[in-house]
A and B are shown apart, each in its own frame.
Chain A
Amino acid sequence: MGERPGLAGLSLRQLRYENKIFWRTPIAAFFTIFFPLMFLLLFSALFGDEVIEIPGRETFSVAQFYAPALAAFAAGSATYTNLGVQTAFARDQGILKRFRGAPLPTSAFMIGKISSGIWIAFLASALMLAVGAVFYDVSIEPERLPAALITFLLGAGCFAGLGMALGALAPTGEGSPAIANATYLPLAFASDVFIAIGEPPVWLRVIGDVFPLKHFVNAFQDAFNPLTDDLAFRPTDWAVMATWGLFGALIAWRFFAWQPRESGPSARRPAD
C-alpha cells in the first residue's frame, strides 16, 4: 500500500480544481468579477462630479463609499451565488456522486470548495478597490487594513456558508441561479449597496439589520471611510456575519446531498 494522500494536499488540489472550473466558465467569471465593476463605473459616471467636502479636511469622491460597498457586494456574490449555483448543478449532473465514490474525504472537498469561493471573492474585492484607487481616487489607509481583512474574511465566510446552504436546498441546478438572484439582489437594496437611503422605511431598515449583507457592507465601508476615526473594528457586525455563516453551514450540513435529486417518488428509482 502506498502513502495515503494527506488532507492538506488533497484540499489544495480541490481548491485549484475549483478555481480552474471557475475561470473556464466565462459566464460565472463575468458576473462575479466584472458585473459589480460595471456598477462602480456606472455610479461614478452618474455621480462622478459630486465630491464630499468635509470641513477642515480634504474632499472625497463618492467612489470612496461606493467602491468598498460594491467590493463587499462582489465578495458576497462570489461566495453565495457561485458556490450555491455550482454545487446544485454539480449535484444534478452527478459530479458530486462521482467524488462520493472516490476516496476523497468530505472535509477536503468542502475546504477546497469554500476556500476557492473565498479566494475568488478576494480577487473580486481587491480588483474593485484597485480600480477605485487608480481611477477614482479612493484612498486606502494602511492602519485600517487589518479591520478590512477581518471583515472581508467573516463576510466572505458567512456568504460561503449561506452559498453551501443554497446549494443543498435548491431543488434543481437549473433553478438555483433564480433563487440566488431573487434572494441576493433585493437584499442588496436593503443593505446600502447601491444607494445610501437617507431615511429608509422601518421595514427596509429592519430587513437590512437582520440579514448579514448590510453588516458586511457597513463594516467594510468603515474600514475605508475617511470619516472613521477608530480602527474600524466592528464586533457587532462581525458577530452577525459569523452567526449567519454558522447557520448556513448547519443547513448545508443537514441537507447536503451527493446524489442527483430525483423528483417525485416514482422517478427516484433508477432506470437500470
Chain B
Amino acid sequence: MSAIEVRGLVKYYGEVRAVDGVDLTIEAGEVFALLGPNGAGKTTTVEILEGHRDRDAGDVEVLGFDPADENREFRERIGIVLQSTSIIPELSVREIIDLFGAMYPKPRKTVEVIEIVGLTEKADARIKTLSGGQVRRVDLALGIVGDPDLIFLDEPTTGFDPSARRNSWSLIQNLRSLGKTILLTTHYMDEAQNLADRVAVIAGGVIVAQGTPDTLGGRAAGAARVTFRKPEAAADIPEPFRVEADRDGLISVQVDNPTTALHRLTEWAVRRGIDLEGLAVTRPSLEDVYLSITEEVDGG
C-alpha cells in the first residue's frame, strides 16, 4: 500500500494557483524528497498532507486517511518536523519532549529521543538558551517521539553545520532502516542525493520531474560532459570537440551521445599517438539537472 497518494491537488491563495494539479505517490518505507525553488508550492503541498491546510481540489490519502478530517489516529501515526516554528521557549528539552510524548499511545522514551538527536548534555536547558541548530534538533525530536510510521521533514538541516548535517542524515537513514516512510523537502541537492530513494521537482505548482536521484531528468542516459586538456596538434580534432579551450586549456563539451562521441575522439587520439590528458566523462550532477528543469519552467 502506498503511504501517500495524491491526485490532482489544487490550492489557491486568492487568485494564485499555488498548487496546480499535483500528482504524487509515495510508497511505504520510502524516503522521498520534494525539491523546488521558493514559492513553488512545496510547503503548501506538504502542509496539506500534514492536515495543516485545506485543499481546494484533488484527492489526498495519507496512510489511508484524509488529512483534512481531524482524526486523532492519523496524528498518532505521523510525525511533523515543521519549518521555522518556534518551540515553547520556557520549557526545557526534556520537558517539551515529555509533554509531546505523552500524547502518543506508544511513545519512544524521552532519554532515548534526546540521545538520538544528540542533546543529552542540553537535556535540562531551557529551549530559549539553545542555538538555532540545537532548536532544530529539538524539532526533530518532537517529530520522532511518537514513533510514527510517516515523518514529514520540512528542510530539516537548514542552518546546520556540516557535522550536524551528517548526524541528521544518519538519523534519517536509521529511521528508514526501521521501515519508516519519510517525506523530505530540501534545498540541498547533496541531501536529496544521499538520502532519497526518489525525488520529485515541483515548480510553478506542478511536479515537473520525478525519478530516482540518479535518473532524474534523464540523468543516467543521454547527455554527458567530456573534458580533456587540449593537445598541441589539434587542428583536425573530430567534431564536436573542435572548439576553443578555456582559460585552463581544457576542452569541455556536452555531448548527447557520449559513446559515439568518445569513440570518435579516442580513435583520433590513438591514431595520432596522442595521450589525452585529464580525460573525463561526467554525468550532470543532480544540481545541474535540477537547475535546468527549474529554469525551463521559469522560462516558459
A270 touches which of B44, B91, B95, B105 (Cβ 8 Å): B44
A265 touches which of B14, B82, B88 (Cβ 8 Å): B14
Q: Are A271 and B91 in contact, with the CB atoms below 8 A?
A: no
Query: Which B62-92 residues have a C-beta within 8 angstroms of A?
Result: 70, 72-73, 75-76, 78, 80, 82-88, 90-91
Q: How far is the CB of B17 from chain A (nearest CB, A)?
A: 11
- A161-186 toward B: CB 8 Å interface, digit per residue (1/0)? 00000000000000000000000000
Q: How far is the CB of A139 from chain B (nearest CB, A)?
A: 39
B95 touches which of A20, A100, A266, A268 (Cβ 8 Å): A20
Does A269 sit within 8 A of B, measured CB to CB?
Answer: yes
Q: Are A4 and B13 in contact, with the CB atoms below 8 A?
A: no
Chain B at the A interface: SS class: loop
Does A263 sit within 8 A of B, measured CB to CB?
Answer: no
Q: Are B75 and A101 in contact, with the CB atoms below 8 A?
A: yes
- Residues in B with CB closer than 8 Å to A265 are 13-14
Q: Are A10 and B103 in contact, with the CB atoms below 8 A?
A: yes
B41 touches which of A25, A104, A105, A272 (Cβ 8 Å): A272
Q: Are B87 and A95 in contact, with the CB atoms below 8 A?
A: yes
Q: How far is the CB of B86 from chain A (nearest CB, A)?
A: 4
Q: Report the Cα distance A4→B72, complex, angstroms.
A: 10
Does A254 sit within 8 A of B, measured CB to CB?
Answer: no
Q: Are B51 and A102 in contact, with the CB atoms below 8 A?
A: no
Does A45 sit within 8 A of B, measured CB to CB?
Answer: no
Query: Which B87-124 residues have a C-beta within 8 angstroms of A?
Result: 87-88, 90-91, 95, 99-100, 102-106
Does B47 sit within 8 A of A, measured CB to CB?
Answer: yes
Does B213 sit within 8 A of A, measured CB to CB?
Answer: no
Does B185 sit within 8 A of A, measured CB to CB?
Answer: yes
Q: How far is the CB of B61 from chain A (nearest CB, A)?
A: 18
Does B52 sit within 8 A of A, measured CB to CB?
Answer: yes
Q: Are A270 and B43 in contact, with the CB atoms below 8 A?
A: yes
Q: A94-B85, A102-B146 are in contact. Are A268 and B13 (CB under 8 A)?
A: yes
- A13-44 toward B: CB 8 Å interface, digit per residue (1/0)? 10001001100110000000000000000000
Q: Report the Cα distance A94→B95, complex, angstroms.
A: 18
Q: How far is the CB of A153 from chain B (nearest CB, A)?
A: 27
- A255-272 toward B: CB 8 Å interface, digit per residue (1/0)? 000010000011011111
Does A58 sit within 8 A of B, measured CB to CB?
Answer: no
Q: Report the Cα distance A270→B91, complex, angstroms.
A: 27
Chain A at the B interface: SS class: loop
Q: Report the Cα distance A259→B43, complex, angstroms.
A: 14
In this complex, how many residues of chain A approach chain B with their Cβ under 8 Å: the count is 33
Does A229 sit within 8 A of B, measured CB to CB?
Answer: no
Q: A101-B80, A272-B39 are in contact. Are A5 and B102 (CB under 8 A)?
A: yes
- A105-118 toward B: CB 8 Å interface, digit per residue (1/0)? 11000000000000
Does B136 sit within 8 A of A, measured CB to CB?
Answer: no
- Residues in A with CB closer than 8 Å to B83 are 272
Q: Are B103 and A98 in contact, with the CB atoms below 8 A?
A: no
Q: Are B105 and A1 in contact, with the CB atoms below 8 A?
A: yes
Does A144 sit within 8 A of B, measured CB to CB?
Answer: no
- A79-94 toward B: CB 8 Å interface, digit per residue (1/0)? 0000000000000011
Q: Which residues of A are interface residues toward B (Cβ below 8 A)?
A: 1-5, 9-10, 13, 17, 20-21, 24-25, 93-95, 97-98, 100-106, 259, 265-266, 268-272
Q: Which residues of B are interface residues toward A (Cβ below 8 A)?
A: 13-14, 16, 18, 36, 38-44, 46-47, 50-53, 70, 72-73, 75-76, 78, 80, 82-88, 90-91, 95, 99-100, 102-106, 142, 146, 154, 185
